[in-house]
Structure 1
C-alpha cells in the first residue's frame, strides 16, 4: 500500500479537468494487501492509517459467480480464470476519509461502527468494470519446492507441467487424480508421505524406500513387498469388515511377528478384497487479484468534483486457502470435486 496523504491530496497530480470532473493519474491505495468478509454482500477492502485515515472498498452482490457462503473463497467455482462484471448499484467501489484510525474489523461488523467518523465519501456510478483474476499459488513455477498435495515430494518430481491439463499429467494409479494432487500416488491405501524414507535416513540423501528392491519405490508400488498380494489387501479380516470408506490402511494395525504385513513377503494371508480408498483431501492455496477500469467516483455530498481514472487500476490482491476433496474416477456418481472452505475469514 502506498503511504501518501490520500485521494484528496492527489489533486496535485491532476493533469486535466473537464466540466467539473477531475481526472487522476494515481491513487493512494493501490496494489494493496486486500481483505474480504461478508455474507449477502462480499466486501473487499484495504485501509490506510498512515498519514491519513482512508479506506477503499468494493461491495459486491453475492449472486452469480460471487460466493455467498462464509468463506474466504470469493469465487464459487474456484479455478484459474478471470471474471469480469460492471460496477453498478449492487457492485460499488467506495473511497472514504475518516477522522481517526480504522479498526481491522470495521467492514465486517454486523452493525456499522459509529467511529471513526466518515469525513468524506466517494461512490462509483454505473461506469467501470471489475476484473477478478484467480490463480492457484501452490503450483508456482518459480518454486521448485512447491508441494501442492503435501506428500513430501515436490510437484516437479511428480509430473507437474503447467503446459498440460490435470488429465494429461502423470497419474501412477490411474485414479483420475494426477500425482501432484494425489496423497496416495500408487493407490495402495498407504499415504505417499509414509512410504518415502529408507531406514538409513531421508530419501533426499539415500533415495526412496524400495522394500522389494524391484526398482519401483514403495510410494509408486502397489505391492510393496513383492509377494503378489497388493498392499491394500494385506489387512486383517476383522479390520476389513470394520473399515469405512476413506479410512486409511494404518500400518500399526497389521503386524506379523513385529513386521508390517504389507512389507513382509512371507505373509500372504488375506480374506477378499479391500474395497476402501483413502480420502484424497488436500489444502489448496489461491491468490485473487482485483483490477478496476474505466470508473468514476462521485462525492456523496456533492461538495467536490467527480473523480475519474483513465487507466486500469490494480486495487490489490489477497491470498486464501480451502480444503478440496478429489474423488476417484472409479464411480461415475462420485467423479466430482468438493470444495470446503477454511474458517480463517472474518465474518
Structure 2
C-alpha cells in the first residue's frame, strides 16, 4: 500500500507545473513587421502577428530618422522603448491594432511586457533612390517576466524586421 501511495505521489509531482511560464518559445521570425497608417519616421508602434499571438514594439520618440547611421542606435527596454507579447483567444489580424474601434473579439488572454533588453536600429540610405532609408530593427537580450515573476529569456526574437521610410 505504501508503495502504491508513493508511486501515485511521484507521478503527480512529475505532472505538476514547476512554475515556469506557460509560453515556452516566442517565434515571430516568419511573421512580417506591420504598422498602422502611413509609415514615417514618426511611426512608433510596430507589431508582428502569429495566428493567436502578437509581438508589439513601441519605439521611443525620435528613434527613427532619415539619416544613415554610422553606428547602431540603441534604445533600452523598458525605460525607453517597450516590447509586449500578447496571447489571444482567437486569430488576431491588423484590424485589432489599426481599426478606429478595435474589435471585441479576440480577447487578450495573456500579456507580458519585456523587463529588459535593447532595440537596435541601423539605417542605410538607398544608393539608387536617395529619398529612401532602410531601417533594420533588431532585439538584443530580451527577457519577459510574467505577473508571477517567472522569466522567459530563451527567445528567437533577434531580427524584428526591416522598414523603409521616405524623406519628407
Q: Is the 8 A contact 2:89 2:109 kept in 1?
A: yes
Which deviations, in whole Å up to 9, do the C-alpha atoms of 1:217-274 show, x marking residues without a partner?
xxxxxxxxxxxxxxxxxxxxxxxxxxxxxxxxxxxxxxxxxxxxxxxxxxxxxxxxxx
Structure 1 position 90, deviation (Å) = 5.2
Which residue of the other structure, out of 90, 104, 112, is the alignment partner of 1:122?
112
Name the one with the larger strand percent: 2
TM-score for the superposition, normalised by structure 1: 0.36
**What is the count of residue pairs matched by the alignment?**
146
Structure 1 position 30, deviation (Å) = 2.1
Structure 1 position 308, deviation (Å) = 1.7
Which consecutive residues of structure 2, in runs of 5 or more, have no partner in the other structure?
Answer: 1-17
- State which structure, 1 or 2, has the greater radius of gyration over its C-alpha atoms: 1
What does residue 46 of structure 1 align with? Answer: 48
1:43 and 1:106 map into 2 onto residues whose CA distance is 13
1:293 and 1:321 map into 2 onto residues whose CA distance is 23
Query: What's the C-alpha RMSD, in Å, of the aligned pairs?
Result: 3.3
**Where does structure 1 differ by over 3 angstroms across 4 or more consecutive aligned residues?**
19-22, 37-41, 109-113
1:307 and 2:152 correspond:
yes
TM-score for the superposition, normalised by structure 2: 0.68
Distance 1:110 1:103, change over 3 A: same
Which deviations, in whole Å up to 9, do the C-alpha atoms of 1:285-331 show, x marking residues without a partner?
3332222122221224x3x832123x783243133241xxxxxxxxx
Which residue of the other structure, out of 158, 163, 168, is the alignment partner of 1:319?
163
What does residue 285 of structure 1 align with? Answer: 132
What does residue 60 of structure 1 align with? Answer: 59
2:165 and 2:142 map into 1 onto residues whose CA distance is 30
1:298 and 2:142 correspond:
no
Distance 1:25 1:122, change over 3 A: closer
SS of structure 2 residue aligned to 1:33 = coil
Q: How does 1:2-41 map to 2 (within 5 A)?
A: 27-30=26-29, 32-37=31-36
Distance 1:77 1:319, change over 3 A: closer
Q: Which has the higher contact order (CA 8 A, sep 6+)?
A: 2
What does residue 12 of structure 2 align with? Answer: none
Which consecutive residues of structure 1, in runs of 5 or more, have no partner in the other structure?
Answer: 1-18, 67-74, 140-147, 150-180, 182-283, 323-338, 341-347
